[in-house]
Structure 1
Amino acid sequence: MKHLLLILVLGLQTFGFAQKIKKSQPLRVGVVGLVHGHVHWILNNEKKSNIEIVGIVEPNEELAKRLTKQYGLSMDIVFDSIEEMVKETQPEAVNAFNSTFDHLETVRFCAPRGIHVMVEKPLAVSWEHAKEMIALAKKHNIHLLTNYETTWYGSNQKAYDLIHNDNAIGTMRKLTFHTGHFGPKEIGCDKEFLEWLTDPKLNGGGALMDFGCYGANITTWLMKGEAPIAVTATVQQMKPEIYPKVEDDATIILTYPGTEVVIQASWNWPHHVKDMEVFGANGYIKCLNSSDMMIMTNEKVGSSPAMASPREPGFNDPFALFKKVVHEGYEIEKYGLSSLENAEMVSKILNAAKKSSEQGKTISWEELYP
């Protein structure tokens, strides 16, 4: 009996030591695709210690040479296919920076092999793709995260805390989001990014998918996973000469019992904008950007500016969080901003919004998702 206890103790000590070593090591990741404009985020992240890029999948040799040179990476880790990259480098996880349409194929390959996946927003090009991706992740027990830029905004986190922990503004009545810029071509997106971002098949749409997902993501978090009872959306093509295949402007209205959400997503803003306003029964919170805020908890007192602190280490960028999830067993809260449950709800909302804009009517949630 003593021998068995000794073996058990030694085993636990060894496991604990191994876990400490794992926590201190960077997460070995493969980058699948270089055609997403956000890929610079991860390529530049090599300067930090939370990840190690062990392989890159990009069949476009000119693009691969350009970006590896820019970030001081070797072409020796670039492969034409995910099959080659995984065979040669054995990554623990992959970050997908391919088209949204190609997210499904990435998960189809990685999930059965136990490789965790983080995709750029939104999760999928359609609800049909999302359902299959979710099923694969659950069947093969992999982590499937979705990265939104606004997840890392200290202002949004402070707003959540004020609303749910401090009850600072009372019951939420109206949420409004303005997200977008003056257009992907106008701001100088690379041609490889533009080719799929403005393709209705590869992106699932235009501004509605590109920027509508932010408001749906944050709303789902603030509403703690509650589904809307109805979705209404309108889209416009204000610049058909530039974006002939997709809408460049979208407005999505989500109706909840006692709360209304208005998401304005556009490639026609005169500036870069990702802001949020939450109006409660007693006051409001306005997140002007990642840190600047305006808060009013009592009209007699008036509003005052506030500055949100940056998010704490480990929760301040997507790759740090990915490492915590894979290496440390950190569990993202249900309907948290990067969670699979949230991504599923976002896919449903965007699907309903597209159907509403196509049919020219409000879509009942229960009828669409009985």
Structure 2
Amino acid sequence: MKSLLSFMLIGLLHISFWSAAQQPLRLGVVGLTHDHVHQILRRASQKDVEIVGIAEPNQELALRYLKRYQLSEKLWYPTTEAMIAATRPEAVCAFNSIFEHRQVVEICAPKGIHVMVEKPLAVSVAHADAMIKLAQKHKIHLLTNFETTWYASHQRAFEMIHEQKAVGDIRKVVVHDGHRGPKEIGCSKEFLDWLTDPVMNGGGAVIDFGCYGANLMTWLMKGERPISVSAITQQIKPDIYPKVDDEATIIVTYPKAQGIFQASWNWPFDRKDIEVYGQTGYVVCDKTLQLKVRTGNEEEKRQIAALSAPYNDPFTYFAAVVKGEIKPQKDLSSPEINRIVVEILEAAVKSAKTGKVVKL
């Protein structure tokens, strides 16, 4: 009889776990002023994630977006606290200014609510450390979402470099990121208001696009901190961006490697690509399903497979992490990697202001 009861109990527990895993992630959205929020709003009806509430103090903005995506006005709440109290989300995604990321974690972490913020993690090391400490104390996941995390080319390049040893040890990484400028490409007024504010964003192009290079480089170096950071920033368009830089170059050095991140609001075309040079070859990546590789006399183009779920989408990945289906390592989204990213960016801003190399 006891064995039968034990068997039934195990079966019920298994069914309960399976049922919980099959349920969509109850997700709250905090802020609508980051234009990346359209990524989650346009997929609100998908089965892996359910938007249960949206916190946004600007009611006009909230209702405009809800109408645009044919979502119920009942999803809107004026504050994060009100949204959480009414909807009890398992996790939230923050789509407000970088400065406000810390407040989101301060509200959510004590309640056991997991958080994913848009890149970068924080405006300063002080903010980043406070956020990570809260996440650790309250045992929540704290992820940072970069568009480039979901490029198959980056994952395949990492495998080539670290598992296959195809190009030897990394010696130089060059990252190009940016576009013609946030105003030029039509970013919303609500986004521009804080993106071009040195306090709310932490800087201009140096932060907005320098963070991609810092994130990829730190990941490729398996979490190693650079020994120095130097940067040059410019205001090529002060009439459009009077408060922040619109052009930046960051150089990070390691004992036997160097990273160069070219971040710009002045590219003639949108770009997010990376060149990784090793001792014996190189690999060039972008968002396409193709790598440019050279390990001999000639460069070759290699077709690669697309990433599979849950590694191909930030919200599917977030749901899998929260539900325990994935145990995050030191990957592109992790706080371990992104704390160093913030440290690099903070040092870059300091270097650009002082004209001096910053030692870490």
Q: TM-score range by the shorter chain?
A: over 0.9
Residue 309 of structure 1 is aligned with which of 290, 300, 305?
A: 305
- 1:356, CA displacement in angstroms? 1.2
Work out the CA distance in 2 between the residues paired with 1:98 and 1:324: 23
Work out the CA distance in 1 between the residues paired with 2:7 and 2:107: 38
Which stretch of structure 1 is more off in the superposition, 12-21 or 50-59? 12-21
Which stretch of structure 1 is more off in the superposition, 92-101 or 356-365? 356-365
- 1:290, CA displacement in angstroms? 3.7
What is the match of residue 127 of structure 1? Answer: 125
What is the match of residue 161 of structure 1? Answer: 159
Which aligned runs of 4 or more in structure 1 are off by greater than 3 angstroms? 5-12
What is the match of residue 93 of structure 2? Answer: 95
What is the one-letter code of the residue matched to 2:315?
F
1:276-324 CA distances to partner (integer Å, 9 max, x unpaired)? 00011111101133423211111x2x01112332111111000011111
1:62-115 CA distances to partner (integer Å, 9 max, x unpaired)? 211211111110111100001110111110000000111111110000000000
Which stretch of structure 1 is more off in the superposition, 264-273 or 39-48? 39-48
Provide closer, same or farther for how the CA distance between residues 238 and 296 of structure 1 changes in structure 2, counting only shifts above 3 A: same
**1:191-206 to 2 correspondences below 5 Å:** 191-206=189-204
What is the match of residue 336 of structure 2? Answer: 341
Contact kept, 8 Å, 1:150 with 1:290, in 2: the verdict is no
What is the match of residue 80 of structure 1? Answer: 78
Work out the CA distance in 2 between the residues paired with 1:313 and 1:143: 19
What is the match of residue 318 of structure 1? Answer: 314
**1:7-26 to 2 correspondences below 5 Å:** 8-26=6-24
Contact kept, 8 Å, 1:26 with 1:51, in 2: the verdict is yes
Contact kept, 8 Å, 2:173 with 2:277, in 1: the verdict is yes
Secondary structure at the counterpart of residue 209 of structure 2: helix
- 1:9, CA displacement in angstroms? 4.4
Q: What is the aligned length? A: 360
Work out the CA distance in 2 between the residues paired with 1:104 and 1:333: 22
Contact kept, 8 Å, 2:36 with 2:95, in 1: the verdict is yes
Tell me how large the CA RMSD over aligned residues is. 1.2
What is the match of residue 326 of structure 2? Answer: 330
- 1:6, CA displacement in angstroms? 5.5
Work out the CA distance in 1 between the residues paired with 2:182 and 2:10: 53
Contact kept, 8 Å, 1:172 with 1:259, in 2: the verdict is yes
**1:1-370 to 2 correspondences below 5 Å:** 3=2, 8-298=6-296, 300=297, 302-334=298-330, 336-365=331-360
Structure 1: gaps spanning 5 or more residues: 366-370
TM-score w.r.t. length of structure 2: 0.97
TM-score w.r.t. length of structure 1: 0.95
Secondary structure at the counterpart of residue 45 of structure 1: coil
Structure 2: gaps spanning 5 or more residues: none
